[in-house]
Amino acid sequence: MVRTTPSISTFLWFERNAEAAVEFYTTLIPNSRITKVARWGDGGPAPKGSVMTMAFELGGHALTAINGGPHYKLTPAVSLVVSCETQQEIDHYWDTLLADGGKPSMCGWLEDRFGLSWQVVPSVIGDLLTDADPAKAARAGRALMSMQKLDLAALQRAHRGDPASSRGVTQ
């Protein structure tokens, strides 16, 4: 018996703006590309020639978007995570994803103008929140809970226990 590993990817349901969303995402995230476009034919629920599905890669991660109509909505229960090395990267992705109608949330979460939820986080967040020293992890966690856009320096100060970190940061 030959065992194969299944291919796993993310499937995103958009009401009607999958093409605009995919073009935006693949322009924003490096190492991204559209890999396949399927269009509606005669007799479909949308105009002939309009986008049905788009297969694409974001940073090497495979996804597919569908223009599926109003039956289902994107939800924050599923989000894409952008792991950033610097505050400049955090600021760039946060600001760009919020542009033109996005909505900020707490703890690095946001919803873009297409309704897709994202987390824009520093790459060290897991280390800060799971430190072997429970006091350090707790301080970092409290700081995280006070923020919308994450402030890497403030999270690191809180983790270290620097007095300046006790003021809390919200953006």
Q: Is pLDDT larger for residue 64 or for residue 171? A: 64
pLDDT band at 116 (very low <50, low <70, confident <90, very high): very high
What average pLDDT does the structure give for the chain?
93
Q: Is pLDDT larger for residue 43 or for residue 32? A: 32
Q: Which stretch of 18-27, 38-47, 83-92, 121-130 has the lowest confidence by average pLDDT?
A: 38-47
Average pLDDT estimate for 91-100: 98
In this prediction, residue 28 carries a pLDDT of 98
- Given its phi and psi angles, is residue 101 left (phi above 0), alpha (psi -120 to 50 degrees) or beta? left
Question: Is the model's pTM score more than 0.85?
Answer: yes
Strands 61-67 and 103-104: unpaired
Q: Which stretch of 2-11, 27-36, 101-110 has the lowest confidence by average pLDDT?
A: 2-11
Q: Which domains does the chain have, with CATH numbers?
A: 8-70 (3.30.720.100), 74-166 (3.10.180.10)
User: Which pair of structure tokens corresponds to residue 14?
Assistant: 């958009």
pLDDT band at 1 (very low <50, low <70, confident <90, very high): low
**How is residue 140 annotated by DSSP?**
H
In this prediction, residue 171 carries a pLDDT of 44
The Cα-based distances of 103 to 14, 67, 92, 115, 148 in angstroms read: 17, 22, 15, 9, 11
User: Which pair of structure tokens corresponds to residue 55?
Assistant: 């297969």
Distance CA 46, CA 68 (A): 9
Distance CA 41, CA 50 (A): 8
Helices 87-98, 18-28: axis angle to 10 degrees equals: 160
SS3 at position 34: strand
Q: What is the pLDDT of residues 40-52, one digit of tens each?
A: 999 888 899 999 9
Helices marked H in 29-151 = 87-98, 125-129, 134-145
In this prediction, residue 40 carries a pLDDT of 93
Residues facing 57 on adjacent strands: 33, 62
Q: What is the pLDDT of residues 119-166, one digit of tens each?
A: 999 999 999 999 999 999 999 999 999 999 999 999 999 999 997 654
Helices marked H in 56-171 = 87-98, 125-129, 134-145, 152-160
Distance CA 138, CA 111 (A): 27
